[in-house]
Structure 1
Amino acid sequence: MQRQQALQTWLESQYPAQAFELTFAAADADYRRYFRATFSDGSTMIAMDAPPEKMSIEPYLKVQQLFQMVKVPQVLHYSIENGFMALEDLGNVPYLAALQHDERPEVQRLLLLEAIDQLIILQKASLPDQLPEYDEATLTCEVNLFPEWFMAKELNKKMNFKQRQWWDQSMQALMPVILEQSKVYVHRDFIVRNLMLTRERPGVLDFQDAVYGPITYDLVSLLRDAFIEWEEDFVLDLAIRYWEKARAAGLPVAEQFDDFYRQFEYMGVQRHLKVAGIFARLYHRDDKDKYRPEIPRFLNYLRRTTRRYTELQPLYALIVELVGDDELQTGYSF
């Protein structure tokens, strides 16, 4: 409550003599919280609270300027010292809610194609040396969250000698396919919870961790989501549509779709391992259980992908040995 009162006081200093009501809007997996300020004339803005001792708002400010080619919230006021920001309000209908409200495939396809169009605009604007490199060290550190947090903490298991061999073989197969990809701006969490339905085009949120890395990463984030899932043929159709649009836009995707889809799937394995580890860490380290029930979805993604590729069979064997071969239901507690 002290932070909320401090945020209220700061906003009052930015909007003197303008009465407003501050209500909770959302919270992120990290330490950020968002509030909606509603003024007497009915206008609104979003206030971000990011405790400066926990995180800095400077990366957000930098990427917000870099991503002006897509619809990101405009920064109205900010205080780096306090960790406060006043932002343009992009509304209260995230893509996730819109997709859950209308499950007709043609509607969902249209919404996702609009998001893909924005992704291509973002990728076309990519320049080197503007964002941190999404390099092999970072990618490897991320996948290691799986044994460190999902295996060790969620399952209370450590790799035996055979499992370590399976893991090492799989990483040796996985990383070259990821690192061979052309690099572009990577939002890093281009998921339907971070896209807003607006009158013009999708609004893009939560971009402060953006990097310069593999071109398939954000498409994987969008089509293999943590909170909503589509049939394989639906995902394949949208991946083809992205690939066709990307080629038409001159983006450096693989010339053959089969090669592109293999890159997409391998990139997905990296992300799924990472997210399973992060969701386990949020629960066991940070006492946040909101994301834990979604872990089985990523295990299902991993099983489906790794059993399709000979090089990834050792990882498939490891996952089956850990959690079995049956499809897991989201909401399941380990």
Structure 2
Amino acid sequence: MELAEMDLAVRDFLAGRLNGEECRLEKLAGDASTRMYFRVHCVPKTLILMRMGEPDPAPAFVSVQQVLARAGVPVPAIHAFDPAAGLMLLEDFGDRTLEQAARGADEKTWIALYSEALRVMADIQFRPLKQRASSSCPCFSLAFDVEKLMFEMDFFIAHTLENWKRAEFAPGEKQALRAELEALCRELAAEPRVLCHRDYHSRNLMALPGGALGVIDFQDARMGPAQYDLVSLLHDSYVDMPAPVREKLYGMYLERHERETGGGADPARFREVYLLMILQRNLKAAGSFAYLDCVKNMGRYLARMPQCLGHVRDAFEQLARMGTLRGLLAKHLPEIG
């Protein structure tokens, strides 16, 4: 798409920021959001144009980007922003995701790629906390509290069980399921909090030259347990990570966590919360996949459902005390039984 073919708002936005340079727009494949992305080809570089679904005078993307950039986290630079038009011009991190970089990798490559992902994740979790007292960024005031975690579980019930599986609950059964899920959420919400990206997985990490990674899609960051993003990365439905690699990476992260917290965390308790978080995080993901299929007609996401529910099943195998919840779920979701 040449400059003359663009709609007036985009044309004016780019013309004012590119000093009249000739440019060409390439529409990029969309994600599950309402945002649209274009690669702006101009001399001597490329940029990314983000068009927000709705104009927002003070989007969280901007404030979270500033917090992360000040903490040294590799996020794309914002070159220009027009709040009224809902347009933003960003640094281009390329097309190669961590998911693509890890495809077909041997163990050495897995460890190299994901040790860097863990390093960046821990930087996100701990480095920005120094800014918390003086920052107005919503990422520090929002949290994975009981209300938020239960919202995700109710979303799972509505879309995975009722919409996708067509579950019909016996009298009192849904209430019993919600009570078990709420107990899970209360336990997780009571854990110490760090800054969470909220969607830290292989499709939101861009493979950059020299083995570096760039972080995108961070606008929903909020406070929560360290295990939240750890589970998102190591139990990611988009990659087939070998179990021995996952355990090595888990141990590497635990060492970093101990350094950051002064060794205050009990390893056994940290592991238990990690397993509980696998349940909550992957049930949440199952709700998203079902919603995208049943409501948004994006059936391609269902291809990841077996792996997602496999993570839930494997966690239940190590959590005997969660047998009541497993039984209530398995009646309508035999994949985790």
* TM-score in terms of structure 1 length: 0.88
Identify the match of residue 196 of structure 1 among 174, 193, 206. 206
Q: Write the distance in 1 (CA, Å) between the matches of 2:58 and 2:90.
A: 12
In the superposition, relative to structure 1, how do residues 233 and 317 fare at CA in structure 2: closer, same or farther (>3 Å)? farther
| AA of the residue aligned to 2:61 | Y
- 1:25-58 CA-to-partner distances (Å, cap 9, x unmatched) read 23121101211111143x11111011226x7761
Contact 1:182 1:252 in 2 (8 A): no
2:253 is matched with which residue?
Answer: 242
Bigger helix fraction: 2
- The yes-or-no answer on 1:93 pairing with 2:104 is no
Q: Which of 97, 106, 109 is 1:107 aligned to?
A: 109
| Contact residue 65 and residue 218 of structure 2 kept, 8 A | yes
Question: 2:239 — aligned with what?
Answer: 228
Would you say 1:290 and 2:310 are equivalent positions?
Answer: no
1:49 matched to which residue of 2? 51
Question: For 2:185, what is the secondary structure of its paired residue?
Answer: helix
Counterpart code for 2:281: R
- Return 5+ residue gaps in structure 1 as ranges: 328-334
Residues 1:214 and 2:225 are matched in the alignment: yes
Query: Deviation at 1:161?
Result: 3.9
Q: What's the TM-score once normalised by structure 2's chain length?
A: 0.88
1:317 aligns with 2:320: no
More displaced stretch, 303-312 vs 220-229: 303-312
Contact 2:150/2:182 (<8 A) preserved: no
The separation in 2 between residues aligned to 1:177 and 1:215, in whole angstroms, is 14
Superposition deviation, residue 282 in structure 1: 1.8
- Verify: 1:22 aligned to 2:25, yes or no: yes
Moved more, 62-71 or 160-169: 160-169
- The answer (yes or no) to whether the contact 1:123–1:184 under 8 Å persists in 2 is yes
- 2:75 equivalent to 1:75: no
Q: Give the 4+ runs in structure 1 shifted more than 4 A.
A: none
CA distance in 2, matches of 1:84, 1:71: 21
Distance (whole Å) between structure 2 residues aligned to residue 32 and residue 297 of structure 1? 27
Give the CA deviation at 1:252.
7.0
8 Å contact from structure 2 (residues 196, 229) kept in 1: yes
Q: CA deviation at 1:114?
A: 0.4
Q: How far apart, CA to CA, are the structure 2 residues paired with 1:156 and 1:252?
A: 48
CA RMSD of aligned residues (A): 2.4
* Structure 1 match to 2:151: 141
Q: Is 1:188–1:218's contact at 8 Å kept on the other side of the alignment? A: yes
Amino acid at match of 1:322: H
- Which residue identity does 1:107 align to in structure 2? T
SS at match of 2:331: helix
The residue number in structure 2 matching 1:332 is: none
Rounded Cα–Cα distance in structure 2 between residues aligned with 1:173 and 1:310:
15
* 1:199 Cα offset (Å): 2.6
- How many positions carry a matched residue from both structures? 322
Distance in 2 between the 1:56 and 1:225 partners? 33
| Equivalent runs, 1:119-198 vs 2, <5 Å | 119-127=121-129, 128=132, 130=137, 131=139, 132-161=142-171, 163-164=173-174, 167-168=177-178, 170-198=180-208
Change in 2 beyond 3 A, CA 1:84/1:284: same
Q: Which runs of 5+ in 2 are unaligned?
A: none
Q: Percent identical across equivalent pairs?
A: 26
Displacement after TM superposition at 1:325 (Å): 4.8
Of 245, 264, 269, which residue of structure 2 is paired with 1:259? 269
Partner of 2:288: 278
